[in-house]
Each structure stands twice: as structure tokens, then as C-alpha cells.
Structure 1
Amino acid sequence: MIIGGSASQKLAAKIANELKCPLIPIETRRFPDGERYIRIKGELDNEAIVVQSTGYPQDENLMELFLILKNLKSMGIENIKVVIPYFGYGRQERRFKSGEAISAEIISELIEVAGATEIFCINLHEESITDFFQIPTHNLSAMTLIASHIQQNLDNPVIIAPDKGALGFAKEIADILGCEYDYLEKVRISPEVVETKTKKVNVKGKEAVIIDDIISTGGTIVNAARILKEHGASKVIVSCVHPVLVEDALLKIFAAGVDDVIATDTLLSDVSVISVAPLVAAAMLK
């Protein structure tokens, strides 16, 4: 039985189709004072799969998830698998300064207490978040899906990480495609001049694909795109798993000369052209 939260109903329907499982509708509305109302409208057996991204608005989507999970638990559902395509509050998995809340740990504990018995996430911002759960937790990678899309649409790509932190994603995709990959690094030319360029690969005349896990404000991507254009890339494509894309991020990216932006549907957006439903369904069947 698949239950889709407000943030992921379309994806939940796709997962239900992949698994050939019934999709159970829910009724959700807001009381005049802002509190949420949740009702599960369907007959359930002993197992349920809840699909809910916890991106913006994070607090509302998390509260809805907590209500759904606790409701299922109180209804006697013993096996509650939770698919969290985008894990909100996942940026802080440790305490950097004294007194800071470790938000990823707190949210993980609340999800587990609410009734989850197994967790499926996609490209967590930090792999270590899985350690906060005491129940089976899976961090799935959407890079194979992104690689497949690139293979179908580009002839001779080179995969570029916008910084060293995203190099692992670039390598994962390049290994699948059998193509070159690199990352952008800052090189100090003089005490006053710093140049950003690819570490080893010449992108001149090539189709450069920038890859990252999350695109939020788009600042890093805009800088990377301009540099690749300056170094002669024939085309610049931007790809990511989670298209957070706050405010005018997408506009800024295209204004920087990017030819296309592709992302998965862990979050709904205008560029969510790759569905993670097959990835989730396959993990459920293992």
C-alpha cells in the first residue's frame, strides 16, 4: 500500500505503478489557526509505504510526515517503510559550534519515534545521516539514472564537478558512461589574482555536464558555467538530484549561458525530468 504525502503525491503514484501496488489517498487540510488535518482514506493491511519529501516548506512537510506515521502506527500497521526522496534538515549532521542543534540527528530520531520501521533516502547530503537511525536505512544513488539520461541526449560529454566536494558524483557518472571527468579548482596566479579552472581536462569544444547533488541558490553553478564557457565548452548542461532552486536560481543559471538543466523528481520543479520511481521500486523489491 503506497501513501503519498502532499510533497510527493506524483512520485508516490509512479512508485505504486512500478510496484503494481494500490495507491491509498489521504485527505489533508489546514485548520483556520494553521494546524494540519490528516485522514487516510482507504483500507490498509499490515504494511504501508509512505512517500514524502521534506523540502520547502520543511516544517509543514515534516509535520505532515509525523502525523501520517503516527496515525498508521496507532491504526496497528506494524511495517511502515518511509521513502524520503529529499531529506530536509540534512545539512547539519554534526555540531560545528558550541550550542548548535544537530538537526539531521533530531529529525532522524523523530521520524523513527513516529513509527517508521525502514527508511529509503536518495543521495543524502551526508552519508553519515544513516547512522542516526536505529532501523534499516538505505541511501540510494540517482547517479545511474542521470547517467542514462546524459547517454541518451549527448554524444561526447565530459562530466564536471563544480568543486572538489562533488567530485565523487562526477566520477560515479563518468565511470558509468566511460567518459572523462574533472572538477573546478582555484589556482593562485599571484597574491592578488586567483583563477578557477578545470584541474586536468580540456573542455574546449566539448559538451560539459556540471553535476551536483543539490542546487539551491545556483551561485556555485553560475560560476562554474561561466568558467566552462570561457574555456571553450561547446555546450554546458547542468544536472542535479535535488532541484531546490530557491527564488530566481533557475533564471540566474540560464542567464549564465547554460543550455539545459536536468534534475530528478525528488522535488517537484520545472526541470524534474528524471523519475526516481524505478530506483525506489527496485530497492523495495530487494
Structure 2
Amino acid sequence: MNPLFKPKLIAGNSNRPLASAIARRISMHRGETVELVKTRVERFNDGEIFVEVFENVRGEDMFIIQSTSNPANDNLMELMIMCDALRRSSANRITAVMPYFGYARQDRRSKARTPISAKLVANLLTTAGIARVLTLDLHAAQIQGFFDMPVDNLYAAPVFALDIRANFTDLEAITVVSPDVGGVARARELAERIGADLAIVDKRRAAPGEIASMTVIGDVQDRVCVMVDDICDTAGTLVKAAELLVQHGAREVHAYITHGVLSGPAIERIKNSTMKSLVITDSIELSEAARATPNIRVVTMAPLFGQAILNIANGTSVSSLFSADTLEPIYEAFYPTRAA
């Protein structure tokens, strides 16, 4: 990339704090101020979304930072309208930075006459003019194949590993737990990064949203259990799994979740649960109630996304950010003892 040019960031309304934090991190890396492009994003009385860009973006490498979290449909439409505004303003390339990719759980037909909504969203983004997608911990890796464009899927596991090393004194006592069989690969990756044992909670559903039974596979007696998953929605499975681990003799139970959807009764369930802590990323902006919950803690993804945006803009490797050795200096301010 021409050194006279720099990536330009523009943010929707879904997660302004994260977008501002990413801009600050890029400013630190570049040694010059990088601010969010000034825009007007508003809704008319009938709910229609209107976008106006107040800066020249002709020929620029644009990055739209927008999670498609609740309200998913509004945020998705906002992203596509922003893309259309940039494309009609002659932006050179438009990258959708989607820390949380909504509709990712609808990645296959679970029964007859149901949609594959994740594929539909991919088609909509392509039609809108998105040239590349940058996201975090897709619910299913195969969603990348829904796009006919480059998709860079970042992982929270290396950052979680740094956080665990910084906040747990007895790493040998930790057992990483997958709260369901489908998340074993994710749990195994984190376990390998910190050299921990692995256990699984096998759940059987009587109906969607109803858990019939849960079984622990592995030894958790007198262990510090760290559950890991990509999404925490209503927190029902997570809280029940924590209770089951305590019943099986776990000394402590913690959880590391990438996307804190936290809908419905989730906050109350977490507050009253046996979990000592729930660590989530800021891929979705937290509500006031979530921020006030004492056993919820946030790990920021701004340094990770900031470096990934710079790497994309400069045509360098994004996969290098999968390594803890690469991330340690990026997160030095957060984990100085580990990065020293």
C-alpha cells in the first residue's frame, strides 16, 4: 500500500466504543492520529436508515466497523447502507469489520423447509459492495465458504490464553471445559495453548431451548474449570454446566466467551450462578446491567482488530495474529508481566 495513504475507519451505531478504541490503537501503531470518519447515521420516523458521509473518501481503503448484534436486522441494514454510500462516493475498497457476525447460528438446514440465513447475509453483503470481511470467532468455520470474497476470521483463544496466564496463579490446576460436544475443537485449542487438561459437558435436548440431561466427560474433581465457548445468549446452558461441574467436585468454575449476546434472563442467571467469573470480549457493546454485574469481566479486542486492519491495509499477513508470540507485544499494556 502507498505509505501516503492510510486505512480510513467508519463506524455504525452497533458498537461505537469498540470502534473508537480500534481507532486509538491504530493511532498508537502509526504514531499519528487516526479518527473515525465523520458521518450522520440516523433513522426516520418510519424506521428507515439514512447515512451521510461528511469526508472525502474517493480512492480510499475503507473499513466499516459494525457488529450485527441486537437489533440484528437494523445493524445489518445500517452496514449495507453505509457500504452503498461509500461505494457511490468512489471508495476504492470496502472492508466490513464485523466483530460479531449475526445470523451465524443459522448456518445449515436443521430441518425441512428452513433457511440458511448465514448464506443469505453473505449474499447481501456481496451485493452491497463489500470486498472483504474481517470477523471474530465465527460460530462455524464453514461460513467463510458462503462468501465469494476474502474472509479473515480472527480468534479470541490467543488473547484468552494471555488473560488466563495473567490472572490464574496455578495453571496446573486448570481444566478447560467445553459446555457442549460441538465446541470441543475450540476448547481443545485453548487447552493446548495453556497446557491444560480437557473435559466436556455432554448435553441432550428434549426440545429447542430445553435441556433434558447433562453429563461430564472427564475428571474435574478439585480442578479449576474454565469453560470456553463462542456465544453466550440466555446463559442457560452455561449456568447449568457450571452447576454440574461444582456437583462433580470442581474447586472453581470460570467461563471465557467470545460474544456476550446476553439476552433475556442472562444477566440475572450469571449474577446468581456458581461461576466465579465470566470473561467476555467487547465484540458486542455491553448493557449497563452487564457492566454492573460483579462476576462479568471484559477483555478488549481493539488491539487485535487494530493490528488486523493495518495488516490488511498494508498487504501483510493476518494469520500471524493467531500466534501468542505476535499478540504479546500488542497486548503489552494489558499484560505487562507476560509481555516483558
Please give the TM-score of this superposition, normalised by the length of structure 2: 0.78
Relative to structure 1, the CA distance from residue 99 to residue 198 in structure 2 (aligned partners, 3 Å threshold; closer, same or farther) is closer
1:281 counterpart = 2:306: yes
1:175 to 192, 196, 200: 192
Specify the code of the residue in structure 2 equivalent to 1:24: V
Match of 2:207 in 1: none
Deviation at 1:186, TM superposition (A): 6.0
Match of 2:112 in 1: 98
**Distance in 1, Cα, partners of 2:214 & 2:124:** 42
1:159 counterpart = 2:172: no
Relative to structure 1, the CA distance from residue 186 to residue 119 in structure 2 (aligned partners, 3 Å threshold; closer, same or farther) is closer
> Over aligned residue pairs, what C-alpha RMSD do you find?
1.8
**Distance in 2, Cα, partners of 1:186 & 1:112:** 37
1:102-113 equivalence runs, <5 A: 102-113=116-127
Specify the code of the residue in structure 2 equivalent to 1:109: N
Q: Is the 8 A contact 1:214 1:243 kept in 2?
A: yes
275-284 vs 67-76, which moves further: 275-284
1:13 counterpart = 2:38: no
1:7-86 equivalence runs, <5 A: 7-20=14-27, 21-45=34-58, 46-86=60-100
Relative to structure 1, the CA distance from residue 256 to residue 177 in structure 2 (aligned partners, 3 Å threshold; closer, same or farther) is same
Match of 2:209 in 1: none
Q: Is the 8 A contact 2:57 2:90 kept in 1?
A: no
1:147 counterpart = 2:161: yes
Match of 2:30 in 1: none
Gaps of 5+ in 1: 188-193
101-110 vs 25-34, which moves further: 25-34
Specify the code of the residue in structure 2 equivalent to 1:198: V
1:165-204 equivalence runs, <5 A: 165-185=182-202, 196-201=214-219, 203-204=220-221
Relative to structure 1, the CA distance from residue 9 to residue 272 in structure 2 (aligned partners, 3 Å threshold; closer, same or farther) is farther
Deviation string 1:60-114 (CA, Å, 9 cap, x unpaired) is 1011001100100000002111111111111122223333222111111111111
**Distance in 2, Cα, partners of 1:268 & 1:49:** 19
Deviation at 1:254, TM superposition (A): 3.0
Deviation string 1:15-37 (CA, Å, 9 cap, x unpaired) is 22222233213222221112112
**Distance in 2, Cα, partners of 1:186 & 1:119:** 33
Match of 2:284 in 1: 267
1:223 to 231, 237, 240: 240
**Distance in 2, Cα, partners of 1:143 & 1:17:** 23
Three-state SS of the structure 2 residue aligned to 1:113 is helix
Q: Is the 8 A contact 1:7 1:61 kept in 2?
A: yes
Match of 1:239 in 2: 256
Deviation at 1:7, TM superposition (A): 0.7
Gaps of 5+ in 2: 1-7, 28-33, 205-211, 317-340
Three-state SS of the structure 1 residue aligned to 2:118 is helix
Q: How many residues align?
A: 279
Deviation at 1:158, TM superposition (A): 1.6
Three-state SS of the structure 2 residue aligned to 1:175 is helix
